[in-house]
Amino acid sequence: MSDIETLIPPSETLTIGGENVVVSPLKVGQLPAFLRAVQPIISHLSEPSIDWLTLFGERGDDLLTAVAIAVKKPRTWVADLDAHDAILLAAKVIEINSDFFTRTVLPKLNEAVAGIGVRAGSTPVSG
């Protein structure tokens, strides 16, 4: 793998639901909606081994929305996939964007959580 592929992973084409679907690194325009969709599931995505059944059971709608955004398909198209294809597609989206998750999303989420803890534990200062 070249240095540039390490920094920016190449797109991959999968045959999903009878269609060729290109899974690429997220574009900046996709980030706002994608981040809103993955925020409730980020703790599942940071686990070394994702428990897909638990993830779909607890936050399946969020995951399907995030996958639809990432592959530029309608949410209904993703929702109509067979379970195997949906998991394969979700896994590929996460794999191709894993550097983004581990270097950008998770540290920022950890900072936000730490900031909330500091504010919740502080006492107001009267003047």
**Could you tell me if residue 93 is inside a domain?**
yes
> Is the pLDDT confidence value at 112 over 70?
no
**Could you tell me if residue 7 is inside a domain?**
no
What range defines the domain where residue 70 resides? 17-121
**Could you tell me if residue 63 is inside a domain?**
yes
User: How many structural domains does the chain have?
Assistant: 1
What is the reported pLDDT for 110?
66
d(CA 55, CA 27): 25
**Could you tell me if residue 1 is inside a domain?**
no
**Could you tell me if residue 5 is inside a domain?**
no
pTM: 0.72
Tens-digit pLDDT profile for residues 10-53 = 899 999 999 999 999 999 899 899 989 988 888 777 777 888 88
pLDDT band with cut points at 50, 70 and 90 for residue 125: very low
**Could you tell me if residue 25 is inside a domain?**
yes
Choose among 17, 37, 16, 23: nearest CA to 94: 23
pLDDT band with cut points at 50, 70 and 90 for residue 81: very high
